[in-house]
Amino acid sequence: MKEIRVALAGPPNVGKSTLFNMLVGANRFVGNWPGKTVDKYEGFFEHMEYSIRVVDLPGTYSLNAQTEEEAIARDYIITEKPDVVVVLVDAVSLETTLYLAVQVLELYDRVVIAVNKIDAALKRGIHISTEKLSRKLGVPVVGISALRREGLHDLVDTIIRVAEGLETVRRLKLDYKGLDYYAREIEHAIKGCPKISEYPLEWSSMRLLEGDAELERTLQHYCADALGLVEATRRRVEEGLGSPPSLLAASVRYSFIDGVVAESVTTTGVVKREVTERLDKILLHPVAGPLTNLGIILSVLIVTLTVNTGFPIKQLLELTGNSELAQVFEKYTISGLFSSLFDSLSNVLAEYLSGIRLPAFLVSLIVDGVIGGVGAVLTFLPLVFIVSAAFGFLEDTGVMARIATANHSIMRRVGLSGKSLMPLLLGFGCNVPAIMGTKILETDREKLIASLIAPLIPCQARLVVLLILISALPATPMAKVVALVSTYAYSLLLVAVVARVASTFLSHGEKPELVLELPPYHRPSLRVIWWFAWDSTLHFLKKAGGIILGLSVVVWLLLHLGPDGFTEDISSSIAKAIGEALTPLTAVMGIPHWQVALALLTGFVAKETVASTLTVITGTVDPVEAVQKLALTPAQIASLIIFITLYTPCLATVATFHTQFRRYKLTILLIAYEFAIATVSAVIVYQALNLMGF
C-alpha cells in the first residue's frame, strides 16, 4: 500500500482540528515537535490503495516565522517536503483566511485548498466558485464541511491526484511591482548560500527584503556579507518607495486576495422565513412534494430539449398533422441553426479550397473530417450549457435539496438515499457530471452504486441518436412517441433493478439514511448560475471535445484509406474491413451490417459519433436519411435503439468512473455488465418484434 504524507495547515478557528479528527478518527497520536513545546498531532487513514499519513501543523495566520508555531509550520513544509499541503480557509471569512494560503502557495506547489464551512456560507447566501478560485490560485480547490463530513471524499481524491501528479499545480507568483527590482538584487547576492538555497530563491529574497528574522539569522551564520546588502537594500526601498518593504509586500498580497474574492464570491438574498415555510409545505409534503418535484424536473427537461432539439414539440406537431410547421420549428432550434451554419461553412470552405487547387483528399479531410468534427462538438455545447444552467438554478435556489428530501423514501426502496437523486438527475444531461456528482453522497458504497447505475440513464447525446433512429422508423408519429417513452421507461426500470441488486450485494440490504440540512431559499443569482453552466460546458469541451474531434478525423481516415492509399470508394476502405470483422457481434442482435458495427464501435468513444459515422459512410448529410439508406427493418432499428441506449455511454464516462474509484476490476465490471444487459435486451427486442412480423 502506497503512503502519502499530507500536511494540514490553516489559521486558528478555521476547522482544521475538526477536519483532522474526521479524517483519521481514532488512528492518531500526540507528540511534540523536536525541541519545541508545541504539541504535534499525527494520524493516518486508508483510502482505496493508499495509506494517508496526516500531520496537523500548528494553526497560524502566516508563515512569517515570528512565532514558534509559524516557524514550525514553515520549517516542516521546507524540510520534510510533504507530498501534499492542504490549506484550510473559511468560506464565511474567505478574505481574511486566504492570506496564509497565498503565502503557502508562494512557498510550495503541491497544495490543495479546502474551503471549509461551505454549508454555513450557503445559509448566508454566500456562493463560492471553487473552479474560479482554482484557476486564480493555480491549484485544486475543494468545498467541504468538515463538521458534516461533506466533500471529504472529493478532498481525499484530490489529495491523491496531486500526490500522483495527475493534477496540474503551479507555484503562485505575485507581481510585487517595484519591489521585484530590489528582490532580484538580493536574489543575486544569496544565490548558492547554504541553507538559504533550501527555500525557493524568489521567495527567500522577497522574505529577506521584508525583514524575515529567521532567514536573517541563517544568512548571518552562513553568508554574513550578503546580510549587509540585504539591510542596505531594505533602507533603499523605504527611501525610494516611501514605505517599509514588509508593508508594501503585504499590501500586494491583500490586493491579490481582494481580486480573487471579487471574482470568485457572490452573495444573494435569502428569502423571508415565512416564504420558506410556505414553500416547504408544498415541496416537502409526503404526496404533493414528489409530484411537484417531478413536475419541476419534467418542466426543466422539456423546456431545455425543446429549445435545443425541438423535442417533444416537433413530435406533437407531427402527431397533430402539422408536419410542415414541425419542420420549420426544428429548423429554428439551436441544434438546427448550428447544423445549417456548419453546412454553409463547409460548402464555402470546400469551394474556396478547390479554387486554390488543393488536392481533393485534403479538401475532403478539412471539410468533412475537421470541420465536421468541430461542428459535432459545437452542436452539443448549447444543450450542455442550458441543462447545466437549469440544474444550477435548482441548486442555487435551494429547490434541489428539497427534491432530495421529498424523494428519499422512494429512492430508499432501491437502496439509495434521496440525496442520490440529484447526481442521477444530472445523468439526463450528461453521465460524466452525474458520476462526478456522486461525491456528495455519504458512504463509499452508495457512491459506487450510484456511479454504476448512472450510465444507464439516457444522456442527451444518446437522446439525439435515439431521435434520429426513431425518426427513421416507418411508423406513425404516435408509434414513434411510444417507442421513445418505452425506451426511457425500460432504461429507468433497469436503473432501479440494478441499484436494488447492487445494494443487496454491496450494502447487504442496509437502507441508507439521508443526512441533509435544508438550506434557506435564495433568490437566484445569474452570476452563480453562469458559474454552474460555464464550468460544466468547459468540462464537456475538455473531456469530450477533443475526443469527438479526433475521432471524426480518425473515422474520415478509415473511410478514405485503403490498401492502395486514398480512396473515395468506401467498399475498398479500411473501415469496411473493420466493420465486417465486427459484424458477427451485431448479427446476434439481428443487424448483420458492417456500417452499424463500425458506428457502434465509434459510439463507444462518444455517442454523438454514431450519427456522424453513419452519415459519412452513407455519403449523406441528413443522419435520418443515412439510417434509412441502410434499409433496416423496424425490428432491427428497435434492437439498435435498445443497444445504443444501454451499452457504455462514452469513453469520457468510463474515464470519469475509473478516476473516481481507481480500480480496474470495477471499471471492467461497469463496461461488461452494461454490454451484457444491452446485448440481451437487444436480442429479446429483435426476436419479439421479428416474430410479430416487424
**Residues pairing with 31 in the sheet:** 40
Cis peptide before 140 (omega within 30 of 0): no
- Does the annotation list 369 as a binding residue? no
For 512, which DSSP code? P
Rounded Cα distance between 664 and 460, Å, is 27
> Is 572 assigned a ligand-binding role in the annotation?
no
Residue with cell 414541425: 326
**DSSP for 140-190, written as a single string:** -EEE-BTTTTBTHHHHHHHHHHHHTT-S---------THHHHHHHHHHHHH
Residues 6+ apart with CB under 8 A from 206: 106, 176, 179, 183, 249
- 342/331 Cα distance (integer angstroms): 13
567 is in an annotated binding site: no
Residue for grid cell 459519433: 609
From its phi and psi, is residue 519 left (phi > 0), alpha (psi between -120 and 50) or beta? beta
On whether 57 is known to bind a ligand per the annotation, the reply is yes
SS3 296: helix
Residues 6 or more apart in contact with residue 146 via CB below 8 angstroms? 15, 18, 19, 22, 116, 117, 152
* Paired sense of beta strands 126-128 and 2-9, if any: unpaired
Q: CB burial class (10 A; 0-12, 13-18, 19+) of residue 30?
A: exposed
- Structural element, H or E, at residue 472: none
17 assigned ligand-binding residue? yes
Whether residue 286 is annotated as binding a ligand: the answer is no
Among 254, 252, 248, smallest CA distance to 211 is for 248
The answer to whether the annotation marks 38 as part of a ligand binding site is yes
d(CA 618, CA 571): 11
Residue position matching grid coordinates 479554387: 355
39 in a known ligand binding site: yes
21 assigned binding-site residue: yes
118 annotated to bind ligand: yes
State yes or no: 507 annotated in a binding site. Answer: no
> Do the beta carbons of residue 335 and residue 379 sit within 8 Å?
yes
Neighbour count for residue 340 (Cβ, 10 Å)? 12
**Interacting residues of 254 by C-beta distance below 8 A, sequence separation 6+:** 99
**140 known member of a binding site:** no
Classify 517 as helix, strand or coil.
Answer: coil
Q: Is 36 annotated to bind ligand? A: yes
603 is in an annotated binding site: no
Q: Is 693 annotated as a binding residue?
A: no
Confirm or deny that 11 is annotated as ligand binding.
yes
Q: Is 144 annotated as a binding residue?
A: no
DSSP H or E segment with residue 83: none
Q: Is 59 annotated as belonging to a binding site? A: yes
Residue 200 known to bind ligand: no
CA distances from 550 to 243, 543, 558 (A): 56, 12, 12
Q: Tell me the three state secondary structure of residue 20.
A: helix
Task: Tell whether 543 is in a known binding site.
Answer: no
- Is 347 annotated in a binding site? The answer is no
> Which amino acids are annotated as binding site for GTP, given as ranges?
10-17, 35-39, 56-59, 116-119
Provide the annotated binding site. 10-17, 21, 25, 35-39, 56-59, 116-119
Q: Which residues sit in the known binding site for Mg(2+)?
A: 21, 25
